[in-house]
Amino acid sequence: MFKLYGFPVSNYYNMVKLTLLEKGFDFEEVITRPSQEEDFLNISPMGKIPCLEVKEGAISETNVIFDFLEELSSDFPLYPLDPFERAKVRELSKSIELYLELVVRQLYGVALFGAPADEALNAKVNEQLDKGVASLNRILIFSPFAAGEVMTYADFMLYYTVTLGNMATQKALGRDLCDDLPGLKAWLGVMDSNPLVQKVNAERDEALKEMMAK
């Protein structure tokens, strides 16, 4: 059985958890916070979550875990078979991570963890977001999924980026990503109707409630 290390509030953790569920892998969740402890660094070299332990050893970095799981099981494929189409899904997924996830993440301190408002940061993020969403609007398809007719890893990357990220941009910048990315709102409805997405979200919300109560 695989072991998934991480915490259900983490967006990256939930991308991998959803993949394991969709593909029907047997796995155990090992609730772990990011850490610089030696034991954890031995399995996740940057101390980040998620990290997946399989019988041969441990793997970190979400997109690498996606690729590993896809090579391991062709059940419920989340990449197209055609090499070009597959590359386009990777291009989209990487663009979402670099130009949206890592941009909005800079707001988490202010928007989610009570750090003081920072106008200089907001201006920088607004500028990076303008460029990021313009690039994504050139490659997002939303018909009905992010990369076209079938659900792929790009949907998982986008879904857990925007569900947390839009909270942060609305709170810190008064900016709604649904206005920036036409088609996002309808696509969110499609993703929200997926029963495994609902399961991951219910467990995320429960963990969030516990975290806030502490």
Ligand X SMILES: N[C@@H](CCC(=O)N[C@@H](CS)C(=O)NCC(=O)O)C(=O)O
Binding mask 17-56 for ligand X (x = CB under 6 A): -----------------x------------xxxx------
CB 191 within 8 Å of CB 15 = no
Shortest separation between residue 76's beta carbon and ligand X, angstroms: 21
Residue partners of 93: CB distance under 8 A and separation at least 6: 63, 66, 152, 153, 154, 157
Shortest separation between residue 12's beta carbon and ligand X, angstroms: 4
Q: What share of the chain is helix, strand, coil (3-state, %, to 5)?
A: 60, 10, 30
Specify the stretch interacting with ligand X by CB under 6 A; choose among 10-18, 76-84, 110-118, 186-194. Answer: 10-18
The answer to the question of residue 62 lying near ligand X (CB under 6 A) is: yes
Instruction: Centre a 10 Å sphere on the Cβ of residue 193 and count the other Cβ atoms it contains.
Output: 9
The answer to the question of residue 11 lying near ligand X (CB under 6 A) is: yes
**Residue 3, phi then psi, degrees to nearest 5:** -120, 125
The answer to the question of residue 163 lying near ligand X (CB under 6 A) is: no
The binding site for ligand X (CB under 6 A) comprises 10-12, 34, 47-50, 61-62
